[in-house]
Amino acid sequence: MRRLLHDLEDPVAMSRNRLVRDLFELANDGATFARVRAAVLEAVEMLRPVNGAHSDIAVHRGRQYEIVRCYDLGSESMTDVLHALCIERSQFYRERACALEWLCEWMQRYVKASFHEHGTTLSQLARLRDDPVERARCLLRMAEIHVDSDRNEARARAEEAVRLLKILPGA
């Protein structure tokens, strides 16, 4: 997630990021870059607590938002962020780790939803692949996507990938 935040202005680097590269395999164009960039920025904004919220969760979310906004997006120094938020280095690392974890989970859900929303599935993508290793990679990614919602589908895709890999020379 750190790399994705860092690469928001670099379409080539963003398209190689493991969190979102499947979206770029469907269409590696400016529209995909803009859509993914907007999704990342939207996720960051979702860290911002609701105005007037003063719960412990809101306080932590507010710190997390400010850390990501200033340090990761704004390229401010850690020292400046520490002073602005009146926190210690250990608290900075804890809050940033929580923020990056939340953002990563959000982006994983976004990628999964994008495949379903646009009517393009990894199974369609897998059929387009000439390279058996690439097809197997797509099938394993499908299994990963389905593991929480449909274990039978996940198992079927993983078994299909294993069968495909077993027929490769040297396997």
Q: Is the pLDDT of residue 144 over 80?
A: no
Which pLDDT score is estimated for 52? Answer: 63
User: Is there a single domain that holds both residue 108 and residue 127?
Assistant: no
For the chain, what is the domain count? 2
Looking at the structure, do residues 67 and 100 belong to the same domain, yes or no?
A: yes
pTM over 0.75: no
Domain assignment of residue 19, given as a range: 2-120
CA 65, chain centre distance (Å): 17
Average pLDDT over residues 32-45: 89
Residue 141 and residue 57 share a domain: no
**Domain check: are 74 and 127 in the same one?**
no
Is residue 108 domain-shared with residue 130, that is, in the same domain? no
| DSSP symbol at 120 | -
CA dist 21 and 13 (Å) reads: 10
Same domain, yes or no, for 114 and 160?
A: no
pLDDT-derived band at 82, boundaries 50, 70, 90: very high
- Which token pair is 65? 């938002």
User: Could you tell me if 41 and 58 lie in one domain?
Assistant: yes
pLDDT at residue 119, rounded to an integer: 44
Q: Do 15 and 89 share a domain, yes or no? A: yes
Residue 68 makes CB contacts below 8 A (sequence gap 6+) with 5, 44, 47, 96, 99, 100, 103
pLDDT digits (tens, 9 = 90+) for 39-80: 899 999 988 877 666 778 888 899 999 999 999 999 999 999
Task: Say if residue 94 is in the same domain as residue 51.
Answer: yes
- The answer on 107 and 26 residing in a single domain is yes
pLDDT band at 102 (very low <50, low <70, confident <90, very high): very high
Q: Is the pLDDT assigned to residue 170 strictly greater than 60?
A: no
